[in-house]
Amino acid sequence: MEVDYGENEGSSSEEEETESSSVSEEGDSSEMDDEDCERRRMECLDEMSNLEKQFTDLKDQLYKERLSQVDAKLQEVIAGKAPEYLEPLAALQENMQIRTKVAGIYRELCLESVKNKYECEIQASRQHCESEKLLLYDTVQSELEEKIRRLEEDRHSIDITSELWNDELQSRKKRKDPFSPDKKKPVVVSGPYIVYMLQDLDILEDWTTIRKAMATLGPHRVKPEPPVKLEKHLHSARSEEGRLYYDGEWYGRGQTICIDKKDECPTSAIITTINHDEVWFKRPDGSKSKLYISQLQKGKYSIKHNHN
């Protein structure tokens, strides 16, 4: 029993030694792992710093290369040799030429339009002047014809002999010479022989008034005289209720007519207004003119419907 106990003790001591040895080996291995990790960490840090340095160097080198490329391209642009500059420049020059050509054509058209407007204004002014001259001529002619008619009426309504006028002139001459021995002759008028005690001018005025009254109250006593011949109307033209009647045809506002004048080319126009004695119309160029109905009656102008 004792022997067995001793063997058991020996076996237990061996086990303790093996355990202690295993623990020491484990401690040594852990120390070696820490050193290795530290060494590896330092190596990684060195390698990382080297990589960072290389990256920085490469970045600086790339910046310098790009900067030199940009400077070279800028010099080419300044010299006018860069294709990136020449292609857009050619497109801009072509666009400039096109726009310059269009502007020149537009300028010519504007000048031509202004010239046409100027010529139209000149033509309208001349036509207006001619129309006003014709109107003035017709007005003066009518006034003169009216005066001639009144003078003819007065001449035929007053029957005074030429001796009355001669006596009047002689009496005025004698008044200038107060020492003249001649006596005043009586005034002789048509009718019974009467010696008037009035002045010659008073007699003349009274006799004129009497003869006018007699012509008014008794027209059968006065010999009729042919009327003054007026200018005959070659065409029939008149205005009625805003319409124009000319040579059997009626014309109204808004109708297109053809105006013809002697020694001039016919022109087309649109009637805008019809008054009592004139007709306003609008030409194709936009100018307005007028015709007097008296001009149509005398044949100075002629109109007709334009069916084109």
Residue 287 falls within a domain, yes or no?
A: yes
Q: Which two tokens stand for residue 26?
A: 């484990």
| pLDDT of res. 151 | 84
| pLDDT of res. 260 | 84
Residue 262 falls within a domain, yes or no?
A: yes
Among 231, 158, 224, 226, residue whose Cα is nearest residue 189: 158
How many structural domains does the chain have?
A: 1
pLDDT higher for 296 or 206?
296
Residue 4 falls within a domain, yes or no?
A: no
| pLDDT of res. 242 | 82
CATH number for position 274: 2.30.30
pTM as predicted? 0.30
pLDDT higher for 195 or 17?
17
- Cα–Cα dist 61/67, whole Å: 10
Report H helices in the chain: 2-79, 83-157, 162-176, 200-217, 293-298
Kindly tell me the burial class for residue 168, based on how many C-beta atoms sit within 10 Å of its own C-beta (0-12, 13-18, 19 or more). middle
Q: Which residue range(s) make up the domain with 284?
A: 237-305
Q: Residues 194-248: pLDDT tens digits?
A: 544 566 667 777 777 787 777 676 544 444 444 444 445 678 888 888 888 888 8
What type of residue is 158?
I
Residue 291 falls within a domain, yes or no?
A: yes
pLDDT at position 188 over 80:
no
